[in-house]
């Protein structure tokens, strides 16, 4: 019974998510489908990469992960089916694959789309489902698609490093308006080298210690911790950090035209200074 996950920026207001699942099950009734999320911000690659990367690694080996994000950035000619760290990943050829994996996949297969087909989301799901079923039934890769196909690559959004500082971008804001920054605990400690530090955001907000949980500070106080995915998180105990501090995700803020909207300034970067 193949295990599939679905991640998308489709939303849940109309029929499409249900229709996608229906088409998958029409191709293979044995599919077991798990939703990761369908509420990714449209066209927000850093957010999609963060969510997919940190969900995928927690699934059983040989799970198939279908990512429906910006399928039609350009006229599609193929879907990508990658195998990496004992996980399968299916997505559009739009640069997102490399951003999710942060490295080149061990194997990548180009699944061709028919030139005369109407290339909508449901057609792409038919193609993906048939390819997954063939792989699961042991078909040779060359019968399914083009091995080692060339594909569009985009660089993952990484923090900027200096001798005595590291600057990260806000890549996700969760349901509690906690703010996730693309600085991992390993990156932080490697750059820190045991030194004291100041985490600075919104120009003058400063935090000088890492908390282990929200309860480490009084209710209403700000804190920084590393979340379960190992990424830096700015939060307020029983509060909403993003709203209070005017913080926005990297992609969203970049669309704000110098980030002045309704007389409110939005920020998208966080900087850590280490003692010299």
In a domain, 153, yes or no: no
Residue 190 belongs to domain spanning = 160-274
Residue 274's SS3 state is strand
- The CATH number assigned to the domain holding 138 equals 3.40.50.10790
- On whether both 20 and 89 belong to a single domain, the answer is yes
Residue 155, in any domain of the structure: no
Q: What is the CATH number of the domain that holds 168?
A: 2.40.30.90
Q: Residue 31: pLDDT above 90?
A: yes
**What confidence score (pLDDT) does residue 257 get?**
40
Domain-ending residue, one of 118, 147, 176: 147
- Residue 115: inside a domain: yes
140 and 174 together in one domain: no
- For the entire predicted model, the pTM comes to 0.90
* 64 occurs within a structural domain: yes
User: For tokens 């990512």, what's the residue?
Assistant: 67
| Angle formed at CA 106 by CA 105 and CA 109, multiple of 5 degrees | 75
pLDDT (tens digit per residue) in 68-113: 999 888 778 999 999 999 999 999 999 999 999 999 999 999 999 9
Does residue 219 belong to any structural domain of this protein?
yes
CB-based contact 248:138 (threshold 8 Å): no
Give me the residue label for tokens 């997954």.
Answer: 132
Cβ atoms 270, 199 nearer than 8 A? yes
Number of domains in the chain: 2
Residues 239, 212, 183, 251, Cα dihedral to 10°: -20
Beta bridge partners of 37: 7
Q: Among residues of the chain, what percentage have pLDDT more than 90?
A: 81
Chain segment 206-263, per-residue pLDDT in tens: 999 999 999 999 999 999 999 999 999 999 999 999 998 989 887 654 544 444 444 4
In a shared domain, residues 7 and 143: yes
Burial of 179 (0-12, 13-18, 19+ CB in 10 A): buried
**Which residue in 273, 269, 262 sits closest to 234, CA to CA?**
269
* Separation CA 149–CA 88 (nearest Å): 16
Answer yes or no: is 154 within a domain. no
Q: How far apart are CA 144 and CA 82, in angstroms?
A: 12
Reference 124, options 174, 64, 73, 79; nearest CA is: 79
Kindly tell me the burial class for residue 255, based on how many C-beta atoms sit within 10 Å of its own C-beta (0-12, 13-18, 19 or more).
Answer: exposed
Residue 138 and residue 12 share a domain = yes
Domain final residue, candidates 147, 176, 203: 147
Residues 135 and 18 in one domain: yes
Question: Is residue 57 over pLDDT 70?
Answer: yes
Do 263 and 142 sit in the same domain of this protein? no
Rounded-to-10 torsion of CA 45, 204, 188, 190: 130
- Is there a domain that residue 138 lies in? yes
Shared-domain flag, residues 177 and 205 = yes
């Amino acid at each position: 019974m193949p295990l599939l996950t679905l991640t998308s920026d489709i939303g849940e207001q109309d029929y499409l998510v249900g229709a996608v699942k229906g088409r998958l099950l029409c191709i293979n009734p044995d599919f077991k489908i798990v939703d990761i999320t369908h509420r990714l911000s449209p066209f927000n690659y850093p957010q999609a990469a963060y969510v997919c990367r940190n969900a995928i690694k927690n699934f059983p080996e040989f799970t198939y992960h279908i990512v429906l994000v910006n399928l039609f950035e350009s006229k599609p000619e193929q879907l990508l089916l990658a195998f990496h760290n004992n996980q399968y990943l299916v997505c559009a050829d739009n640069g997102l694959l490399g951003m999710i994996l942060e490295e080149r996949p061990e194997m990548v297969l180009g699944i061709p789309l028919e030139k005369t087909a109407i290339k909508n989301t449901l057609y792409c799901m038919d193609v993906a489902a048939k390819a997954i079923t063939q792989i699961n039934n042991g078909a040779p890769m060359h019968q399914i698609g083009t091995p080692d196909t060339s594909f569009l690559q985009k660089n993952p959004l990484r923090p900027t490093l200096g001798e005595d500082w590291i600057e990260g971008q806000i890549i996700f804001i969760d349901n509690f308006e906690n703010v996730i920054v693309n600085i991992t605990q390993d990156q932080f400690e490697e750059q820190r080298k045991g030194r004291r530090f100041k985490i600075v955001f919104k120009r003058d907000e400063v935090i000088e210690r890492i908390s282990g949980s929200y309860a480490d500070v009084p209710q209403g106080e700000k804190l920084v911790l590393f979340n379960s995915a190992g990424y830096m998180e700015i939060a307020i105990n029983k509060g909403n950090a993003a709203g209070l501090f005017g913080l926005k995700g990297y992609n969203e803020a970049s669309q704000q035209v110098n980030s002045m909207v309704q007389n409110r300034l939005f920020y998208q970067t966080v900087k850590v200074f280490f003692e010299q």
